Amino acid sequence: MDAWIDTYHAVRGLTRNGTFVFLTDSAVGAREEDNLRHLVINLGADVPRSTVVPFLTCKHPREYCLAYADRAAQQGFSALVVLGGDKKIGPPRCVDHAWELRELIREQQPGLTLGGWANPHGPAADQVGHLLDSRVNAEFYLTQIVSHHSVAAVESFMNEAARRGLSLPGLFGVFYYRSAKQRTLDALKDFLPVPADALMKEFAEGVSADEICARSIRALRAVGVRHFYISNLPLGRAAGTIQRVVDLAS
């Protein structure tokens, strides 16, 4: 309950600043919680649904996923990010690829704006090709976490996207690393690319968490990225933290 109280205050603070909030299920492993149910119960009526975007993975029964989309539309959410989900852990996907689930949702809820996924760390031609495919069934995409330490991969992705005329808007993920604790960084490596050695060097030199995050945004902007989402913000200080990062990045 305390976690959801913190989430509520963080979401309310961010949306008052005009920031969109993307909320995952926070589940790692075998069972994902019903994040939509928690959102509806805990956010109340004073948080505009149009600024909150829930995540849905394919790691549920198909009937559940389609009912989830129905409930999202009924509760006033205007967008969903629909992802495949990790194939290596937890229950199997209900479809092989996320675009298939987005296709089913679009047939049932054509008014929902759907988001997809890309990984700039993968081969640029393949990743851009997926987004250009007529079956992508998405109006925007989010990316895997990137940083100033992986800017070469992002630049390759951006060049390929420009060369092939990709017009789908994307939000590039930046992680807010709060410290350089070895145990934490090792745990994160199971879910995202972590430049552990470089981060530990920066923290050891006295660089703040805010500045490290801002460095990533500045470097990514330099290669043409214009839209970002920041992951792992401290819930109790989310609005203030994101404002400091934005100020530094500017």
Average pLDDT, consecutive stretches of 10 residues, N- to C-terminus, the chain (250 residues):
40 52 60 68 73 88 94 92 85 93 96 96 97 96 96 98 97 94 90 93 97 97 95 84 92
Residue 15: per-residue pLDDT: 46
DSSP state of 95: S
What pLDDT score does 32 carry?
A: 55
Encoded tokens for 199: 């981060």
**C-alpha dihedral sign at 216, 220, 221, 225:** negative
Instruction: Give the pLDDT confidence score for residue 220 in this predicted structure.
Output: 97
Tens-digit pLDDT profile for residues 15-44: 455 566 887 755 444 455 567 777 777 776
Q: Between 62-74 and 35-43, two packed helices, what is the crossing angle to 10 degrees?
A: 20
pLDDT score of 134: 94
The number of beta carbons lying within 10 Å of the beta carbon of residue 96 is: 12
C-alpha angle 143-58-220 in degrees, rounded to nearest 5? 5
Return the pLDDT at 33.
59
CA distance 113 to 49: 13
CA distances from 247 to 29, 209, 239 (A): 36, 14, 12
Rounded distance, CA 137 to CA 123, Å?
21
What is the predicted pLDDT for the residue at 160? 98
Domains, the chain, in order of start with CATH, read 2-179+210-249 (3.20.20.220)
Residue 240 is given by DSSP the state H
* Among candidate residues 93, 99, 86, 106, the one with its CA nearest the CA of residue 129: 99
- Can you tell me the distance from the alpha carbon of 174 to that of 221, in angstroms, rounded to the nearest whole number? 12
Closest residue by Cα to residue 177 from 218, 142, 141, 207: 207
CB-CB contact of 40 with 14 (8 Å): no
As a whole number of angstroms, the distance between CA 137 and CA 146 comes to 24
